[in-house]
Amino acid sequence: ATGLIAFLGLGHMGGPMAANLIKAGHDVVGYDPVPAAVEAALAHGIPMASTAHEAAAEAAVVLTMLPSGKHVLDAYRGVDGPGLLSVAKPNTLFLDCSTINVDEAREAAVIALEAGHRSVDAPVSGGVVGAEAGTLTFMVGALPEDFETVKPILELMGKRIVHCGDHGAGQAAKVCNNMILGVSMIAVAEAFVLGEKLGLTHQALFDVASNASGQCWALTTNCPVPGPVPTSPANRDYQPGFAGALMAKDLRLAVNALESTGVAAEMGPLASRIYDAFAAGEGAGRDFSGIITEIRDKSV
């Protein structure tokens, strides 16, 4: 009903998300500069354009799932020529699902509106598994009428669609949530290592904390020690899950938001430094709960 969706960025997340739109019978044309992504998309039955402009020119919705805010703003504005905003039909809905800075999301909205278009930020949580299963959570920053337009599209790729507020509010919700996650995982990991030193079994600490005031997702779903939660990445040598590189990226976005708003936070920036160091090494490709190994190794 919405018309053609130009889907730009068919990587780990975008590929399966676009495949779910196709599966639901939606009209989609994809674009990605990387040949392997193009081949995978074609194998899923996603028609591919040879340029982003070609895809965007015909679309009612331009959906981006790109690595960073710079990619999004460059694509919108154009780098060595006209950008997508100038080739799209008037009143095209620009729907960015990438995780980017709140300030960049607001800037994207300003330039899209100036060019006579509509803008929505809708970052996701749920990872590749959620993208494949169509069970992502979308955190949406949009004007009310634009939210109504994107909701049925997002429902084909996700399970929970939350309207968080105006432009940028989706990114704001995402960055706040992931700052809680980064900080709480470090706290849970430190507590397990302390418990080890104090002669406490993992199971005993888990049984107490998971039913007491220490209860949180980092403990009860993504438990950083093997055993208490059989499905947590610790049980498969910290294969992600949620990779350290992505946690480091999201915490850098949190620090940028803390700095631009002047919040007197200490834990967020500290978590960011800890995960930057983790992601500089093998942690980049391991689940972020693997931070416990670093804490243990550094302990005397």
How far apart are CB 26 and ligand NAD at their closest, in Å?
Answer: 18
Q: Cβ 36 to ligand NAD, closest distance in Å? A: 8
Nearest approach in angstroms of CB 10 to ligand NAD is 6
DSSP reduced 3-state for 273:
helix
Q: Which one of 174, 197, 249, 298 is the catalytic residue?
A: 174
**Which of 75/225 has CB closer to ligand NAD?**
75
| Contact set with ligand NAD (CB under 6 A) | 8-14, 31-34, 37, 52, 65-67, 71, 75, 98-99, 124-125, 127-128, 246, 249
Contacts 24+ apart (CB under 8 A), 35-38: 37/10, 37/11, 38/10
Residue among 66 and 183 whose Cβ is closer to ligand NAD: 66
From the CB of 108, what's the least distance to ligand NAD, in Å? 13
* β 136-141/158-165 pair status: parallel
Q: Which residues, in sequence order, are CB contacts of 110 under 8 Å at separation 6+?
A: none
- Using CA atoms, how far residue 229 sits from 206, 214, 249, 257, 294, in Å, is 9, 16, 26, 33, 21
Q: Which is nearer to ligand NAD, 138 or 206 (CB)?
A: 138
CB 115 within 8 A of CB 56: no
Q: Residue 32 or residue 205: which is nearer to ligand NAD going by CB? A: 32
- Closer of 158 and 195 to ligand NAD (Cβ): 158
Q: How far is the CB of 100 from ligand NAD (least distance, A)?
A: 7
- The amino acid present at 288, given as its one-letter code, is F
- Cα–Cα dist 210/192, whole Å: 12
State yes or no: is 174 an active-site residue.
yes
Q: HSE-up of 166 (CA within 13 Å, CB side)?
A: 5
Enumerate the active-site residues.
174
